[in-house]
Amino acid sequence: MVMSKGAAAEWRSFWLLPFAAALGYSTSVIHVYSMGPFIEPLQQAFGWSRGQISFGLTIASFISAIFCVPVGILVDRIGPRRVGLIGVLLMSGAFALLGTMTGTTANWVALWVIVALGTLWVQATVWTSAVASRFEASRGLAFAITLSGAALSAAVAPVLAAWLIGGYGWRTAFVAMGGIWAALVFPFLLLCFRGAHDGGASQHATTTSPVKVLKGVTLSQGLRSPTLYKLLLASGLFSFTAIGAVVHFVPILTDSGATPLAAAGVAALVGVFSIFGRLGTGFLLDRFPGHIVGALAFMLPIVSALLLLFDGANPLSQAVAAAALGLTVGSEVDVIAFLAAKHFGLRSFGALYGALVMALSLGTAFGPLAAGTVFDRFDSYAPFLMLAIVLMGVSATALFSLGLAPETAETAARSP
């Protein structure tokens, strides 16, 4: 399909921005996607249960969720560049500090509070706000590339963590991963990450380029909209189930007989297929109704759960389950961000999308904890996987019920 003139102009002017934003966004989830390989070493070192270990993610994600809306308002006011540059350094340093844990509950909680403070500055709102301000005709694809940063983490983090743990121990692995991320990401952001909010030149943009940042509903109008609460429901249920499964994916496979390194290799497929999921979803969002694309994408984890429940020891089934989960984990934030921009506009995008990131963060906070607690209670992940099937069905239904965005519906009504 030929790219429209508007989309081509956006990419000519700002083509580096989504790639820089993707690297920034990858920093926000290194603690999520790398935690699986650390679970067994931490159990051996401190005698903790999987639920106790998962509680660290709960702390970080819950605190992050509380401040998602204020951070979104901050991005709306001062621009995403300064927030993102500070955030990458804070988050990388906070992750490296996990290597200093002593094994006491107070120390474990304190370290994850520090991680939470780091995640505040690198949440999806920061990166999508910049991209949304530069892209409109090709916003779906631009979001897809931006949010592929999470896929990069999902593909690289578990394998890198397992390799570092095996060769140098878990303490060094935490420190090394934090240092690697900061060294690779920060310089690229410094050179290439700048949204319309931030002012100044950006690549080949001209001073006459329109900056469409004021259209859309106000914050109070958005808070009164039923659309917001449907998106909140879909976001929270999705991240609760999918991220819970992703964090515990390596233990799920090792419990079925896989070696830790082999399980990490299969888990890396989640990241690989996340890239295809994000790009494919972005392509589809630019061409088909977003609520339909999103609803179909949100049903894919049901396939993963069924395969792990009924054929979890089969390596082929494990790989297909990882691929199906990755395709959805590669699309969920894209779908939510796209629908939020479509239904609410950009006037208060940071704050309203911040509310949706809050729901995603709360799901991330409690999903891994629930999965770990279920295993500790039943010595099996099966009850959690069955719950995932139900909740993903509800999440998909919530998205489908949105219907067309107002301007899309008006355009369709005027069409002959």
Please, which pLDDT band fits residue 242 given cuts at 50, 70 and 90?
Answer: confident
Closest CA to 331 of 222, 398, 242: 242
- The amino acid sitting at 243 is I
Checking if the pLDDT of 92 tops 90, the result is yes
Tokens of 118: 């780091």
CATH code, domain with 356: 1.20.1250.20
Residue numbers of the domain that contains 402: 15-198+211-414
How many folded domains does the chain comprise? 1
Residues 278-336: tens digit of each pLDDT = 788 878 887 888 889 988 988 888 999 999 988 878 888 889 999 988 888 767 777 88
CA dist 81 and 250 (Å) reads 35
What angle, 0 to 180 degrees and rounded to 10, lies between the N-to-C axes of helices 260-285 and 315-329? 40
Q: What are phi and psi of 216, to 5 degrees?
A: 125, 180
In a domain, 157, yes or no: yes
In a domain, 374, yes or no: yes
Under DSSP, is residue 19 helix (H, G, I), strand (E, B) or coil? helix
Q: Are 274 and 140 in contact (CB under 8 A)?
A: no
In a domain, 3, yes or no: no
In a domain, 395, yes or no: yes
Q: Are 30 and 333 in contact (CB under 8 A)?
A: no
CA dist 1 and 372 (Å) reads 45
Calculate mean pLDDT across residues 148-163.
Answer: 84
Residues 159-189: tens digit of each pLDDT = 899 899 999 999 999 999 999 999 999 999 9
In a domain, 113, yes or no: yes
Q: Are 131 and 237 in contact (CB under 8 A)?
A: no
Checking if the pLDDT of 31 tops 80, the result is yes
- The amino acid sitting at 11 is W
% of the chain exceeding 90 in pLDDT: 25
Q: Are 223 and 126 in contact (CB under 8 A)?
A: no
CA dist 107 and 125 (Å) reads 30
In a domain, 1, yes or no: no
Q: What are phi and psi of 147, to 5 degrees?
A: -85, -5
The contacts of residue 32 (CB under 8 Å, 6+ apart) are: 57, 153, 243, 246, 247, 364, 368
| Residue that wins the pLDDT comparison between 83 and 346 | 83
| Residue that wins the pLDDT comparison between 348 and 138 | 138
Judging by beta carbons within 10 Å of its beta carbon (0-12, 13-18, 19+), is residue 117 exposed, middle or buried? middle
In a domain, 187, yes or no: yes
In a domain, 203, yes or no: no
Instruction: Round the average pLDDT of the chain to a whole number and report it.
Output: 83
Taking the complete model, does pTM exceed 0.75, yes or no?
A: no
State how far the alpha carbon of 389 is from the alpha carbons of 233, 257, 371, in Å.
Answer: 15, 24, 14
> DSSP string covering 381-400, please?
SHHHHHHHHHHHHHHHHHHH
